[in-house]
Amino acid sequence: MKKIKLVSKNSAIANIPIDIILWNYWDHEHVVGTHYKHYKKVKIYYEDDKCCYSERKAKLPFLPFHLTEQTFVVLKDNLTMRVWHSMLFNIIKAEQLLNFEEINKDKVKVTKTDYLEVPIILKFLQPLFDKIMKKWFVDVWNEDKSMRERRYKVCKLGFIDFYGIKYINNKEISKENKDLPITYKFKLPIPKITKINSEGSFRKIKP
């Protein structure tokens, strides 16, 4: 039977540098915490400086149950991400295309296009699919907002992952002689503090 793709396109602007935005999309550890209403588990099976293959338990808006999905994410370049999702033994296949437009050094426009492959007889589901994906985009975007802003603030102070802020941790550095703020540079894979690569990261908060 002929198949088509349902499509939903959504975008938003963040007053955050592009490196922080990319960190947000590739920091898998925050998913079960910040997005605890949507995710129960994330486990990474493989990742390198360009891609990540993981398994997640996720719940879409308006659905009363979680689905286990396999997700493959590729960083095509610093302005483009491609994501493939597979569920129910590859019966359900979805794709995402994320484009990052750097408006200036402190402002980025993120555009996410979702695709769901379905038999052509299910094309009537297009409005519902668009409604679900729009709600998902808005909910997740708002949940991430405060986390992104906090990271931006500490990065402007020279924060380094798993070290902290130099002139605060090292009392021998005076305020007059402290290093200038370090500009955060996005680099994969993101440093981890949990066992997400071996045991997985689980939701510890009940929705």
- Residue 177 pLDDT greater than 70, yes or no: no
Q: Which pLDDT value is given to residue 90?
A: 81
The residues, ordered by sequence, that sit 6+ positions from 125 with a Cβ below 8 Å of its Cβ are 6, 118
Under 8 Å between Cβ of 117 and 5: yes
- Residue 101 belongs to domain with CATH number: 3.30.530.20
| pLDDT for 176 beyond 60 | no
- Dihedral angle, C-alpha 143, 148, 154, 159, nearest 10 °: 120
Residues above pLDDT 70, as percent of the chain: 89
Question: In this model, does residue 180 exceed pLDDT 60?
Answer: no
- Is 29 within the bounds of a domain? yes
Question: Does the residue 21 lie in any domain?
Answer: yes
Q: Are 85 and 70 spatial neighbours (Cβ–Cβ below 8 Å)?
A: yes
β-partners of residue 109 are: 13, 101
Domain count, the chain: 1
2-40 pLDDT, tens digit per residue, is: 899 999 999 999 999 999 999 999 999 999 889 988 888
d(CA 56, CA 190): 18
Whether 76 maps to a domain, the answer reads yes
Structure pTM? 0.86
Count of C-beta atoms within a 10 Å radius of residue 44? 21
Q: How many residues does the chain have?
A: 207
Residue 12 belongs to domain spanning: 3-144
In this structure, of 92-96, 121-125, 163-167, the range with the lowest mean pLDDT score is 163-167
The pLDDT value recorded for residue 206 is 56
In the predicted model, is pLDDT for residue 66 greater than 90?
Answer: no
Query: Does residue 166 lie within any of the structural domains?
Result: no
